[in-house]
Chain A
Amino acid sequence: MAKPNPTDRKYTKEHEWALDQGSGVVVMGITDHAQELLTDIVYVELPKVGKKVKQMETVAVVESVKSVSDVYSPVSGEVIEVNGRLENEPELINKDAFGEGWIAKIKMDQPAELNNLMDASGYEALIKETTH
């Protein structure tokens, strides 16, 4: 069973999370439900620092044994930091998707975009809908 979805952050329908760190920066990653679907992540293609992304544009790629999946940016902005540990320890996402398995930090262009995203209960309702 997937770990509970923390209530301190927002979620996309494509299974990314975004945690507002204040001062216009979010940390983002994929949810525990997403890593359960993928299982066995073996590569993470990280964006370059400085990359500009639009909300719901591809920001990273995760490869599991089974498949390749795009990771979408939950917000528009600039990548200001990436989780370099994932280069050698991609399994961090499997182990701790909401914590040590974070993917990137993004300086938001329009913080109001966070309002387009779901809260934890909305995201859980979405998972229920799609798994039944």
Chain B
Amino acid sequence: MKKTPLFERHQKLKATMIEFGGWCMPVQYTAVIEEHRATRSAAGIFDICHMGEIEVRGTGARDLLQSVMSRNLDGQETGQMRLSVMPNVRGGIIDDLTVYKLGEEHYMVVTNAVTKDGDWEWIRKAQNEKGFREVTLRDISDATGKIDLQGPQSQVMLQKITLGNLAPLKFYHFMSTEVLGIPSIVSRSGYTGEDGFEIYADSRRIGEIFDALLSTGTPMGLKPVGLGARDTLRIESGMMLYGHEMDETVTPYEVVYGWLVDLTKEFTGCEALRKQKEEGVKKKLVGFEMIDRGIARHGYKVFGNGREIGRVTSGTFAPTLGKAVGFAFVDRTHDSPGAEIGIEIRGQQARARVVPLPFYRRSKT
């Protein structure tokens, strides 16, 4: 199992560690709900060093990425990031990732942990097939440390240790700056539904930033947050997780990623996706909330009008909402908000209702 540069710190904080995508990661430090609430009310700090970063640079970098990404990167300015899907020829999702434009013909692609090596191979293959000889691909995952700081107080906390002026930084924008004097990329983005930042810096020094944020933030309510609360936070905010809601057999139109597909441009998988857009999808990812008691979890069967119509992909107790919610794939007969579905929990059907996403939306001031 791989260890992140923050591993010893997690041990010192007495985190419970688990395996995730080949990495030894903290699942919780104290308790999931406590960490979840801290993130919603003040801030949480997350070790995200396991995620992958691939640098794409040189003449043709943009066109290479355009040829593998479903999202149109035209009009993206330096300092902007974009969420995208990288589909296979059938339109299935190889990965969902963020593309940071560092400069003209210079990008950083941020991948999920389990998919990084596959992403690398896929982009490499496209480069060779399409002859982008001037483009340099670099896997900078091991050299790059990543921390997420999420929650309403995160700007105040991070501002204390960075030269960059955070207040004008817009959502899904980033700056190259210094944090604690360490060259860093800081974007206003995240995976919790709160205001917050993703911070990238040299993996040998990321620990210093982690320590400094913990010591400045703790008096203001900052807590280190493990993968347990990372999951409850992202589910409440209606965000999907690769390997649960998505894999290579699922297309962007079947989940909530249709908006990441631009069919006016050419890219790998665009024909399959054009065809699917025309014909319509057969299954659809929906959000649901439980009417009866119980938590529907990954893999549980979903029923509608007495027949099996799908599977649960993620489910949890949502601490902010005080009820159990989740995602499921269902037949199109049951994909509208309000539809009642049954979910088999330990041999018995519990009632649930399809609801609009997200489950939770922060109040913006």
Contacts and interface: CB of A to CB of B under 8 A. Distances in A.
A64 B28 CA distance: 13
Interface in A44-100: 45, 61, 63-66, 68
Nearest to B227: A66
A33 to B, nearest CB: 13
B346 interface: yes
Interface residues of B, number: 16
B294 A43 contact: yes
Contacts, number: 38
A43 to B, nearest CB: 6
Contact of B232 (A39, A45, A65): A65
A45 B324 CA distance: 15
Majority-rule SS of B interface residues: mixed
Contact of A40 (B27, B33, B294, B346): B33
Contact of A63 (B27, B232, B294): B294
Contacts of B32: 39-40, 64-66
B316 A65 contact: yes
A42 to B, nearest CB: 4
B89 interface: no
Contacts of B304: none
Contact of B228 (A43, A61, A65, A68): A65
Contact of A43 (B31, B293, B319): B293
B295 interface: yes
A39 B31 contact: yes
Interface string B1-42: 000000000000000000000000001100111000000000
B346 A42 contact: no
Nearest to B294: A43
Given A63-B295, A63-B317, A65-B32, 7 more contacts: A42-B324, A45-B346, A64-B32, A65-B33, A65-B232, A66-B27, A68-B346
Which 10 A-B pairs rank lowest in CB-CB distance, beginning with the nearest?
A: A42-B317, A39-B31, A65-B32, A40-B33, A65-B317, A40-B32, A63-B295, A40-B31, A66-B228, A43-B293
